[in-house]
Structure 1
C-alpha cells in the first residue's frame, strides 16, 4: 500500500502546476500512514501466535516485534506530518466555537500573513513524498532478513533523510547541514558495505538466518562441529559486525560518531529536525536488537564479541552527551546532545542482552521517541506563538526596541524556518503562554528522569537491568550523567519560569483590526471584527501537544499496555 500510494503521489506531483497543494499531499500521506497502521495492527494477533513469517524468498520476515515497531514508525510519522498538514495559526472566536457552530458555519479570513499561509513549509510539494520514502526504508530495515536488503533499506532511508535535510532550497544553513550529513553518511555506508562483503566472503551467504546458524555452530563447544567449518573462524563474524556497527552507530549519532548531529540538527529547519532526530533511529535500533540477539556471546566468554563496541559507545555517549551539553546556548544543539545521552541509555539496554534489558530497551525506545516528538512540536508552537512580540531591553524606547529586534533576527540565520534557536529566547515564556510553558517543562522533567513521569520509569528499568546483570560501573556512570544532565534541563525551566521575558507585544499590532465573514451554506450571514488576540495556535499543534503531554504525565496510572507490550516482545524474542 505504501509503495502504490507513493507511485500515485509521484505521478500527481509531476503533472501539477500549483505549489499550494502541499497541504493536500501531507493530509493524503497521513491517511496512507493511518490505514497502514490499522492493517499492521490487524496482523498482530496472527503473529503473536507463531514465530513469524518469512516473505519474498527470505529477504524479509514479519514478526510481532517488527509489526509493533511498524506501528510506532507509522504513528509518529503521521503526527509529524500534522505540522505541514494545517496552518500553524488560526482565528478563534469564542462565540463561534461551539460544536454546532463549528459544524454548520464557516469562517472566511484573508489575512494570510497572520495565519502564516505563506510559510516555506507549504511551498514544498515533495516533503510528504520523501517522508514516505524514508518510512518505507525504515519499515523494510526493521523486517529485513538478508544482507542485501539491509543495505538497500538503510540507503533508501538515508537518501530520503539527505534530501529532506536540504529540501529548503533558499536556506543556506539547511543546504550546508544537509551536505555535511550526505558526505559523512556516505562514509558510514561504506563501513556497512565493507562488513557485508566480508561476511559474504567468509560465510558464502547473505541470508541472516544462515549467518546466525553458522555463528552458533562456530561458538559451540563441540570441536567436531567446529571441524566441519574449517574455513570459518569464530571471531571473524564479530570483526565484520564490529565494522558494521560503526556505520550504524554513526547513523544513530552515538559517540564517538556523534560529531555531525549537533551541526545538522541546528542548521536544518525545525520541522525537518523533528523527523530526522526521531524516525531515523527507531528502525536501526530494532534491527540491531535482532542482530545482537542472534550473534552476541556471553560476557564471560574470553573470545572477542562485537557487542562490546556497543557497550563502549554507550559509555562515551552518556559522558559526551551530558558534559558537552552543559556548554550549549542553542536549543536544538542542546537537544542533539540530549539525544546522544539518551542513545547511551538505549545502547546500554541493548548490549546487556537479557530478558529484562530487552524489555527495558523496547520501553525506553518508544517512550523517548514520543517525548522527543513532543519537545520539538512544542518548540515549533512557541515559535509560532511569538509572531506578535518584539525583543525589548531596559532603557530602550519602542523605536530602539524594534531596531534591536531586527538586529536580533538578522543574527539568527534562517529565523523564518527555525524561529526558536537560542535558549535565551525562552526567557519568561511562562508569562506569555503558561500552558505551552508547562507542557515543555513536563517534557524536560521526563528527559531528566523525574518521577512520576514516563522518563523516570524508562531510566529505572535500564538501571535495574544493568545492576541485575552485574554492570555496576555502567549503572553508576548512567546515574551520575543523568543527574548532571538535569542541570541543563533545569536551566531551561529556570529561564522559562523565573526570568523576566525579553519580549513585549508589538505596539504596532495593538490597534490591529481586520474583518472576517461568517457563512452558512455558502451564504454570508455576518461580518465579524478580528483583533490580534483572536489569532491562536492551530488545533493540530495544541491537540498533539495535549495528548502527548497527558501520556507523559499520567503514565503511572495507565502503565499496563506499554509495559505488557515490551514484556511480551522480550519473552517472544527469547522463546520463553
Structure 2
C-alpha cells in the first residue's frame, strides 16, 4: 500500500505545476497511513502458532510484535504529518463558531498573515513523499529476517532521513546538519555492511533463521569440542561490528556525537520525525537479534550483547552529565534521548521476559512523550508570533523562521502567556525525569526492577544516580517556564491595528482581538490527548502493561 501510494504521489507531483499542493499531499499521506493501519490491524491475528509468517521467500518475518509496532510507527508518522497538513493558527470568534454558522456562513479574514499560510513548511511538496519512503524502510526493517533485506531496509530509511534533514534548501544550518548526518550515517552503514559480510563469510547464509540455528550449534559444539567449522566467537565479533552500526543510527554513546548538532541544526518539524521514528524500527530488529542469539540453553559466558550493556552505561553518564551544560532546547533533548536510550539498551541486553516487557513499554511511552514535547515546542513558537522580545541574544538567532524556539531562555515566563500549554510541557518534562505518578516513572521502575532481578546491581545504581542528576536540567526548564519573569511584550503595532473579517455575503466588518487568534484544533487536540495519556496512565495501566506482557511472552515462547 505504501509503495503504490508513493508511486501515485510521484506521478501526481510530476504533472502538477503548483507549489501549493504540499498541504493536500500531507493530508493524502495521512489517509494513506490510516489505511495502512487498518491493513495491519486486520492482519494482526494472522500468526501461525504465534511464531509468525515468513513472506517473500523468507526475506521478511511477520510477527505480533512487528505488526503492533508497524501500527505504532504509522500512528506516530500520521501525527507528525499533521504539522504540515494543517495551518497552525486560526481565528475563533464565539458568535461565528456555532455549528449552524460553520455550515451556513464563511468567515473571511486575512489568512495569509494570521495563519502563517506562507510558511516554508507548506511549500515543500516532497516532504510527505520522503516521510512515506522513510516509513516504508522502517516497516521493512523491523520485519526483516535476512541480512540482505536488513541492509536494504536500513538504507531506504536512512536516505529518506538525510533528505528530510536538508529539505529546507534556504537554511544554511539545516544543510550543514544534514551533511553531517549523511557523512556519519554513511560511516555507520559501512560498519553494518562489514558485519553482514563477516556473518555471511562464516555462516554461508544470509537468512537469520539459519544464523540462529548455527549460533546454537556453535555453542553446543564449543562445549563438546566438536564442529570446528563454526566458532561462536567469530559470530559474536561479527554481531558486535553489526551492532556498532546500529548504535550509530540510534545515537547511543559512545557513537552519539552527531545527534546534538543535527537535532539543533535542522528545523524542529523535521527533528520531530528524525528523533522518534528512526529509532523504533532499529530497536525492534535488535530485540529479535539479541533474543535469538543469546537465548540458548548452552549459553557461554561471553555474548555480543555485552557491548550493548557498555553502551547503556556510557549513555547514562554522557546523556546526563553533558546535558547539564546545555542552553539550547533541542541539544538538551538530544542528550535526554541519549540517556533514555541507555534505559532501552539496558532492558534489551538483559533478555528475560520481564526485561522484554520493560523494553516494549519503555519504547512506546518514551516515543509518545518525545512527540508531545516536540509538538509543544513547535506550538510555543506559533503562539508567540504577535509578541516581541528586545533581547539581543534572541533577535540574532539564525533560522528563526524554521525553528522559532531554540534557547531554553526563550520560554522564560511562558506560563503567563499560555498556562495550559505550559502545564502540558511541565507534565511531559516531569515524565522524562521519572517523577511519579507519570508514565515515565513506571517505565523506569520496570526496567530497573528487571535489571535487579537479573543481577545488574551496578548498572541499576548508575541508572538511578544519573536519573536524579538528570532531573536537575529538567527542573531547570520548569523553573524558567513558571517562575522567571517573561521578557515578551505584545507588539504595539498589532495592538493598535484594526483586526477585522467579513461574513460571506455581508459587507459589514466583524472586529476581533488578538485573543481571538488561537492555535489550530489539530495541535490542541493532539497535545491534550498525549498529555492525558502521560498524566492519567496510573488510572488505566492494564491495557499497556498487558500488551507489553503478551508480546514478551509470545517472543519468549517462540
| Matched residue, 1:268 | 266
| Matched residue, 2:460 | 475
| Matched residue, 2:285 | 287
> Is the CA contact 1:443–1:552 (under 8 Å) kept in the aligned structure 2?
yes
> Which of 384, 407, 411 is 1:426 aligned to?
411
- Structure 1 residue 235 and structure 2 residue 233: aligned? yes
SS at match of 2:330: helix
| Matched residue, 1:246 | 244
Structure 2 Cα separation of the partners of residues 149 and 221 of structure 1: 29
SS at match of 1:274: helix
- Structure 1 residue 198 and structure 2 residue 183: aligned? no
> Is the CA contact 1:297–1:305 (under 8 Å) kept in the aligned structure 2?
no
SS at match of 1:316: helix
Shift, 1:537, TM fit: 0.9
Shift, 1:324, TM fit: 0.3
SS at match of 1:441: helix
Structure 2 Cα separation of the partners of residues 102 and 483 of structure 1: 51
TM-score normalised by length of structure 1? 0.94
TM-score normalised by length of structure 2? 0.97
> Is the CA contact 1:141–1:150 (under 8 Å) kept in the aligned structure 2?
yes
Shift, 1:98, TM fit: 2.6
Shift, 1:314, TM fit: 0.2
SS at match of 2:45: helix
Query: Could you give the per-residue CA deviations for residues 328-369 of structure 1, whole angstroms, max 9, x where no partner exists?
Result: 000000000000000000000000110000000000000000
Shift, 1:47, TM fit: 2.5
Structure 2 Cα separation of the partners of residues 111 and 75 of structure 1: 30
| Matched residue, 1:134 | 134
Task: Return closer, same or farther for 1:53/1:301 CA change in 2, 3 Å cut-off.
Answer: closer
> Which of 470, 481, 494 is 1:485 aligned to?
470
| Matched residue, 2:540 | 558
- Structure 1 residue 510 and structure 2 residue 508: aligned? no
Query: Could you give the per-residue CA deviations for residues 203-229 of structure 1, whole angstroms, max 9, x where no partner exists?
Result: 1110000000000111126866x63x4
> Is the CA contact 1:80–1:274 (under 8 Å) kept in the aligned structure 2?
yes
Structure 2 Cα separation of the partners of residues 86 and 223 of structure 1: 62
Structure 2 Cα separation of the partners of residues 408 and 535 of structure 1: 27
Structure 1 Cα separation of the partners of residues 441 and 116 of structure 2: 38
Shift, 1:108, TM fit: 2.1
Structure 1 Cα separation of the partners of residues 104 and 550 of structure 2: 47
Structure 2 Cα separation of the partners of residues 64 and 103 of structure 1: 44
Structure 2 Cα separation of the partners of residues 508 and 525 of structure 1: 25
| Matched residue, 2:513 | 531
Q: How many residue pairs align between the two structures?
A: 558
> Is the CA contact 2:219–2:299 (under 8 Å) kept in the aligned structure 1?
no
- Structure 1 residue 257 and structure 2 residue 239: aligned? no
Task: Return closer, same or farther for 1:300/1:266 CA change in 2, 3 Å cut-off.
Answer: farther
Task: Return closer, same or farther for 1:299/1:434 CA change in 2, 3 Å cut-off.
Answer: farther
Aligned pairs (5 A) from 1:18-167:
18-47=18-47, 50-167=50-167
Structure 2 Cα separation of the partners of residues 50 and 243 of structure 1: 31
Shift, 1:409, TM fit: 4.5
| Matched residue, 1:400 | none
Structure 1 Cα separation of the partners of residues 481 and 509 of structure 2: 39
Structure 1 Cα separation of the partners of residues 544 and 29 of structure 2: 26
> Is the CA contact 2:50–2:554 (under 8 Å) kept in the aligned structure 1?
no
> Is the CA contact 2:147–2:206 (under 8 Å) kept in the aligned structure 1?
yes
Query: Could you give the per-residue CA deviations for residues 532-575 of structure 1, whole angstroms, max 9, x where no partner exists?
Result: 22211111111110000011100111111111110000000011
Structure 1 Cα separation of the partners of residues 222 and 420 of structure 2: 65
Query: Could you give the per-residue CA deviations for residues 419-461 of structure 1, whole angstroms, max 9, x where no partner exists?
Result: 0000000100000000000000000010011111110110010
Shift, 1:178, TM fit: 0.2
Shift, 1:234, TM fit: 1.4
Structure 2 Cα separation of the partners of residues 544 and 75 of structure 1: 12
Instruction: Say which is worse superposed, 105-114 or 257-266, in terms of deviation.
Output: 105-114
Backbone CA RMSD of aligned residues: 1.6
Task: Return closer, same or farther for 1:550/1:103 CA change in 2, 3 Å cut-off.
Answer: farther
Structure 2 Cα separation of the partners of residues 524 and 48 of structure 1: 65
SS at match of 1:90: strand
Aligned pairs (5 A) from 1:326-345:
326-345=324-343
| Matched residue, 1:372 | 370
Structure 2 Cα separation of the partners of residues 525 and 439 of structure 1: 41
| Matched residue, 2:219 | 219
Shift, 1:300, TM fit: 10
| Matched residue, 1:570 | 552
| Matched residue, 2:450 | 465
Task: Return closer, same or farther for 1:35/1:301 CA change in 2, 3 Å cut-off.
Answer: closer
> Is the CA contact 2:9–2:129 (under 8 Å) kept in the aligned structure 1?
yes
| Matched residue, 1:543 | 525
> Is the CA contact 1:48–1:64 (under 8 Å) kept in the aligned structure 2?
no
> Is the CA contact 1:235–1:303 (under 8 Å) kept in the aligned structure 2?
no
Task: Return closer, same or farther for 1:477/1:260 CA change in 2, 3 Å cut-off.
Answer: same
> Is the CA contact 2:202–2:230 (under 8 Å) kept in the aligned structure 1?
yes
Structure 2 Cα separation of the partners of residues 355 and 192 of structure 1: 28
Query: Could you give the per-residue CA deviations for residues 158-183 of structure 1, whole angstroms, max 9, x where no partner exists?
Result: 00000000000000000000000000
